[in-house]
Amino acid sequence: MNLGVGRKLGIVLCVGLAAAVQVQAQSRESVDLDMVSRIRQEAFHRSQVMATFGHLTEQIGPRLTNSPNMAKANAWTREQMTAWGLSNVHDEAFDDFGRGWLYRSASVDLLGPRQLSLHAVPKAWTPGTQGAVEGEAIAVVIKTKADLDKYKGKLKGKVVLLSEFREYKAGTEADSKRYDDAGLTALLDYAVPKDANPADRKKRASEYVQRQELSQALNKFLVEEGAIAALSISGWDNGIIRVGGGGSRRAGEPVGVPELAVAAEHYNPLLRSLERGEKVNLRINVDAQFTSETNDPGYNTIAEIPGSGNEVVIIGAHMDSWHAGTGAADNAAGVAVMMEAMRILKTLGVKPRRTIRIALWSGEEQGLIGSGAYVAKHLAEYPESTDPEQKKLPKGFQERGGPLQKKRDYDKVSAYFNLDNGSGKIRGIYAQENLAAMPIFEAWLKPFNDVGATIVTPRNTSSTDHISFDRIGVPGFQFVQDGLDYGTNVHHSDLDTFDHASAEDLKQASAIIAAFAYHAATREQKLPRKPLLEN
């Protein structure tokens, strides 16, 4: 199958004259097949990607930003990349992330009217119980701050059930999916975006602020009222615990009471029991703690294969994770592949024109914070708004305070390549509307068509660290990956573990990343940039 080549002709016909020039460019695009062959041999037959993946997931474990495990991951990846002979291996801090947190164990036991150990995982950044506590459950419905008043004086010594009942949804699609030809071909169609409605952004910002305020008020209320713990329903059915943060990672903010996400099959029955008028008694024991009292910096880990010039190609993936599983598909897989690509290139002794830099980000799960800070420091940033109303909003919602301010290295970075859509193999790349990059990527992908990577789509994809680059006009790309069970079983869940990934997928990805990094670092020109939309 070679959808890449067939489709490329279609695109050429559509975009006319400019594209014709590109076809020339593309046909001239130099692909070092000898190097690709060497990369494939190292990646497929002498792979270390599973050892790296295994160390991150099972010897270190989950890597919540600023947790002790994340520090271990920073240290181990530095050590490993130093051992491989990479240069300039170091951590780079970004300020003011927040507090560290970890949990060691957690149990929720239903003591009456019947007895059962409930499957539950604490929310990140919520306190532990300091030993087992017992209390009666009470169900609340709190959608606005005004709702809090209803429960004044009623929560003392209680376990508060925060979520409403959720009906079970039968799984009528396969858990695990790979792209078929039709699915890949569909990705080649681009939908011209609708005009944005400025009111929508305002509404979303206002809703976000309200949610934040409610969350803080609720945390404060639960503590003041003397609730002993809170339970909410897991984000997914089938006994899977899908859970992120609660409480607050920010020093000085109320962290609330110990709060856990409970498997839906164990949570709904608690509500039904209360509805029947039964007394529901629970014993909860959470060994969790904040590991710092201040808003500590987070750390990205950086390493390089130096180039002969002063330009740079960056490859990266976020190393931080949520805490319920071991952050395997999200995103030890991406980290292991990126590290493996560096190992391969170093082992092959490449001497690139541009420095090949690897960045293992932190704080991704809390809003691309590590990569955002890196880009702001080295490449460019929009000044913050001075409007006090705007400053209340999280950065993503704020209006810009002025035109882009470029930093020293803005013109030096050719491209950033990211991997963070699970552990599935690479099927192509999102060109992020950079049409001039497409024929280049098609040429680079061609020697991997036989292992299933065929597609260059003009589409944008979002939600991970390439966006930190893309939004300031430096070419940032994320690859198209087979979904496997990322969206059904593992994303942010207790099933995000080593066993759900496959060696073949990660080997394939590491070969492709190594080849992309190599070609980006050796081609004569930097990658073309698309026009920057300043507003």
Question: For binding to its own copies (CB under 8 A), which residues are involved?
Answer: 54, 58-61, 104-107, 109, 113-117, 119, 121, 167-168, 170-177, 237-241, 264-266, 268-269, 272-273, 276, 325, 484-485, 489, 494-495, 497-500
- Minimum distance from residue 499 beta carbon to its own copies (Å): 4
Q: Which of 52/248 has CB closer to its own copies?
A: 52
Q: Which of 107/295 has CB closer to its own copies?
A: 107
Exposure class string for 90-105: b at 16+ Cβ within 10 A, else e: ebbebeebbbbbbbee
First-to-last alpha carbon distance for the chain, in angstroms, is 40
User: Which two tokens mark 224?
Assistant: 């003041």
Q: Which of 127/325 has CB closer to its own copies?
A: 325
| 252 C-beta neighbours (distance < 10 Å), count | 9
Q: What is the DSSP letter of 423?
A: S
Tell me how many degrees the CA angle 425-426-430 measures, rounded to the nearest 5.
145
SS3 358: strand
Q: Which of 19/490 has CB closer to its own copies?
A: 490
- Minimum distance from residue 232 beta carbon to its own copies (Å): 16
Q: What is the CA radius of gyration of the chain?
A: 25
Exposure class string for 163-190: b at 16+ Cβ within 10 A, else e: beeeeeeeeeeeeebebeeeebbebbee
Q: Which of 278/433 has CB closer to its own copies?
A: 278
Q: Which of 60/358 has CB closer to its own copies?
A: 60
- Minimum distance from residue 504 beta carbon to its own copies (Å): 12
- Minimum distance from residue 77 beta carbon to its own copies (Å): 17
User: Which two tokens mark 277?
Assistant: 């008028």
By C-alpha distance, which of 488, 485, 478, 469 is closest to 509? 478
| Neighbouring-strand partners of residue 117 | 109
- Minimum distance from residue 280 beta carbon to its own copies (Å): 11
Q: Which of 65/489 has CB closer to its own copies?
A: 489
Q: What is the DSSP letter of 245?
A: B
Give the C-alpha separation, 232 to 204, whole Å: 24
- Minimum distance from residue 43 beta carbon to its own copies (Å): 22
By C-alpha distance, which of 49, 480, 105 is closest to 289? 105
- Minimum distance from residue 42 beta carbon to its own copies (Å): 24
- Minimum distance from residue 534 beta carbon to its own copies (Å): 45
- Minimum distance from residue 105 beta carbon to its own copies (Å): 4
User: Which two tokens mark 220?
Assistant: 């404060």
| Neighbouring-strand partners of residue 138 | 160
Q: Which of 292/502 has CB closer to its own copies?
A: 502
- Minimum distance from residue 114 beta carbon to its own copies (Å): 5
Give the C-alpha separation, 335 to 30, whole Å: 28
- Minimum distance from residue 109 beta carbon to its own copies (Å): 4
Q: Which of 474/506 has CB closer to its own copies?
A: 506
Q: Which of 267/417 has CB closer to its own copies?
A: 267
Q: Which of 171/394 has CB closer to its own copies?
A: 171
Q: Which of 96/175 has CB closer to its own copies?
A: 175
- Minimum distance from residue 475 beta carbon to its own copies (Å): 34
Exposure class string for 11-44: b at 16+ Cβ within 10 A, else e: bbeeeeeebeebeebbeebebbeebbebbbebbe
Give the C-alpha separation, 244 to 235, whole Å: 9
Amino acid at 480: V
By C-alpha distance, which of 519, 513, 507, 509 is closest to 350? 519
Q: Which residues contact 430 (CB under 8 A, 6 or more apart)?
A: 457, 459, 460, 461, 477, 478, 479, 480
DSSP symbols for 39-70: HHHHHHHS--HHHHHHIIIIII----TTSHHH
